[in-house]
């Protein structure tokens, strides 16, 4: 908004727990950044980090230190990011009314192991897509910046989190002209190539169109996206996303996600949309005289993706398997 400013408040938590209001510090007339998110903080960060959008090529990282006696707000830096544009509204099945993807404001932020993780919705090839970032907090420099997109689907309203192993999950909404608004997720592990996540997974399909316009004419969607780490094991993720049910309404669906695989892995491929590595097991005998022959079973593979299976005594002499 032209001429608009923002405020940041620091509130002493201790008195709140006993039912009273303690000291409140306010920083006013901060330049408009659509949203400035204090990080959900794991461990000792030395102060609360906050992150917002500075420009279409930079974020802005701030930190509040000295709580609760003498809080100080400091701009740490403006890490460079890939350029982005405002996302378009998202089409949906069953109606010409598009869903409001809001804008490119950051949706949430997490601090863990020295890094800030955050995400927002941007334009990707003329469609709404997810852009996520890992920012080294003390130096406010960009470690990686990944994009989650599709050749048809629009992805929007992301919620991101990171567990104790630096594994990341981001949940979001997805829709297009042939798809009702449903709930999706993807993720990555530290060994994945930089900037990359797995193939997006639909975990609850939309069931109908949503057409409820606000007084401004917007078909408002979202604000109900959150991904969090289970405090009991600090590894399992829970993601809460919004979908469109039957009856022109909205609902939320909760999914549990982790990167554990119980089957033995034949090799160490990239994490798939199942959020774990594919595995291969065998039964029978590689003897043609036996009736049952030799059977190979692959699990946790991506659907509708072609694959070639090799076999041999070692990787050097492996041959394509024909079943």
Instruction: Give the integer Cα–Cα distance in Å for 75 and 254.
Output: 36
In this structure, how many other beta carbons lie within 10 angstroms of the beta carbon of residue 179? 19
Question: By C-alpha distance, which of 199, 204, 203, 207 is closest to 304?
Answer: 199
Which position has the token pair 């405020």?
Answer: 7
CB 145 within 8 A of CB 160: no
Encoding tokens for residue 311?
Answer: 């076999």
**3-class DSSP state of 317:** helix
Decide: 61 and 47 in contact? Cβ < 8 Å.
no
Give the span between the Cα atoms of 48 and 205, in whole angstroms. Answer: 37
Report pTM. 0.82
pLDDT given for residue 216 in this prediction? 84
What pLDDT is stored for residue 288 in this prediction? 43
CA angle 307, 313, 316 (to 5 degrees): 70
| pLDDT < 50 regions, the chain | 262-266, 287-291
| Segment 127-155, tens digit of pLDDT | 999 999 999 999 999 999 999 999 999 99
CA atoms lying within 13 Å on the CB side of residue 166: 9
- CA distance linking residue 202 with residue 55, whole number of Å: 32
The length of the chain, given as a count of residues: 323
CA 225 to chain centre: 10
The pLDDT value given to residue 265: 41
Cβ atoms of 250 and 242 within 8 Å: the answer is yes
């Amino acid at each position: 908004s032209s001429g608009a400013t923002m405020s940041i408040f620091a509130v002493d938590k201790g008195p709140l727990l006993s039912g009273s209001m303690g000291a409140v510090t306010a920083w006013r007339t901060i330049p408009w950044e659509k949203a400035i998110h204090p990080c959900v903080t794991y461990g000792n960060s030395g102060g609360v980090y906050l992150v917002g959008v500075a420009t279409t090529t930079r974020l802005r990282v701030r930190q509040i230190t000295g709580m609760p006696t003498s809080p100080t707000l400091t701009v740490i830096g403006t890490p460079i990011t890939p350029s982005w544009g405002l996302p378009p509204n998202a089409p949906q099945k069953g109606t010409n009314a598009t869903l409001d993807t809001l804008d490119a404001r950051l949706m949430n932020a997490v601090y863990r192991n020295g890094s800030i993780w955050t995400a927002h919705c941007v334009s990707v090839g003329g469609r709404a897509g997810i852009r996520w970032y890992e920012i080294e907090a003390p130096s406010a420099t960009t470690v990686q910046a990944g994009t989650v997109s599709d050749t048809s689907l629009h992805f929007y309203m992301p919620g991101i989190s990171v567990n104790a192993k630096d594994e990341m999950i981001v949940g979001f909404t997805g829709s297009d002209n042939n798809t009702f608004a449903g709930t999706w997720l993807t993720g990555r592990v530290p060994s994945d190539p930089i900037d990359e996540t797995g193939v997006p997974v639909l975990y609850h399909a939309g069931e109908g169109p949503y057409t409820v316009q606000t007084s401004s004419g917007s078909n408002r969607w979202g604000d109900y996206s959150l991904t969090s780490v289970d405090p009991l094991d600090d590894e399992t993720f829970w993601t809460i996303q919004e979908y469109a049910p039957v009856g022109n309404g909205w609902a939320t669906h909760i999914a549990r996600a982790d990167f554990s695989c119980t089957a033995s892995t034949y090799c160490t491929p990239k994490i798939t949309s199942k959020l774990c590595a594919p595995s291969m097991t065998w039964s029978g005998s590689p003897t043609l005289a036996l009736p049952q022959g030799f059977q190979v079973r692959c699990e946790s593979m991506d659907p509708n993706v072609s694959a070639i299976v090799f076999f041999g005594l070692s990787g050097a002499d492996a041959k394509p398997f024909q079943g």
